[in-house]
Amino acid sequence: MTVHVTTSLDGKVLEITLDRPKANAIDAATSRELSNAFVAFMADPVQRVAILTGGGEKFFSAGWDLSSAADGESFESDYGAGGFGGFPELPNRTKPIIVAVNGMAVGGGFEIAMSADFIVAAEHAQFFLPETRVGVLPDAGSVRLPRLLPRQLANEIIFGGRRLSAQEAMNWGIVNKVAPANAVMDTARALAAEICLSAPLSIAAVLDIIRETEDLSIADGYAAMRKNEAYITAIHSQDAMEGPNAFAEKRDPVWKGK
């Protein structure tokens, strides 16, 4: 079986590369490869942050492989535990994911990027959703994009195929950082290193709180947060004492994840 997903570990950071020429399009088998990589990442206590990127320089991912669709693959196919793209539907995710967009993020490729916690984009990257032009629909994009952009702009992208440049995407708050093409991964690695300075239980709690409270009022969000198990675990952890102790002793904290 041809392998289209490779991984490498750099300290606490797992780098995952989708490399399926010519456009890094994703069929069900490739999605399952991505899902397996992300499931293993979540289960490994050493790994703190994952960076997903695409092989080559032209495409991050062209999204769903339409040739597979023509051969009978459907939206109901088995895309793995994390759904299409490996992680967007992983339940109770406790670790952050950075997407390093090295080229065009098209259709499902854009939807995967929207599902990440951080996006670093090459200067030449573009983001667009052409699904309605080929008779299907951007299911994740229809749910996520109107929450990220003003409704009229989101509609223009969803209905009309409007493309966002990397700089436009950053101006609208979708992208965290824009970098030259040859610096995209180094920029993503620097961001991952910054995240790794924080306590792992704190990061896990923040991710869980965001998921649980994003559709609640502020008052209801506070109430839900105080009852959140990840929040309670984090504030009563050994790491919650280690942080203040390290500050008082003028040293770097040593996180135990306990």
The predicted-structure confidence for 160-197, as pLDDT tens digits, reads as follows 789 999 999 999 999 999 999 999 999 999 999 999 99
Per domain, the residue ranges of the chain are 5-196, 200-248
The tokens for 165 are: 């440049």
Beta strands of the chain (E only): which ranges? 5-10, 13-18, 49-54, 59-61, 97-101, 104-106, 118-122, 126-128, 164-165, 177-179
Distance (Å, rounded) from C-alpha 85 to C-alpha 78? 11
Task: Examine the residue annotation and report whether 229 is marked as an active-site residue of this protein.
Answer: no
Of the listed 57, 89, 111, 212, which one is catalytic?
111
Task: Examine the residue annotation and report whether 123 is marked as an active-site residue of this protein.
Answer: no
Q: Of 37, 183, 44, nearest to 101 (Cα)?
A: 183
Residue 122 has pLDDT above 90, yes or no: yes
For residue 213, the cross-strand partners are none
Distance (Å, rounded) from C-alpha 172 to C-alpha 150? 9
Of the listed 73, 131, 212, 249, which one is catalytic?
131
Q: Which residues contact 194 (CB under 8 A, 6 or more apart)?
A: none
Tell me the pLDDT band of 1, cut-offs 50, 70 and 90.
low
Tell me the pLDDT band of 135, cut-offs 50, 70 and 90.
confident
Q: Does the domain at residues 5-196 carry the CATH identifier 3.90.226.10?
A: yes
Give tens-digit pLDDT for 220-239. Answer: 999 999 999 999 999 999 99
The percent of the chain in helix, strand and coil, each rounded to the nearest 5, is 45, 15, 40
Give tens-digit pLDDT for 52-86. Answer: 999 998 999 998 887 877 666 766 788 999 999 99
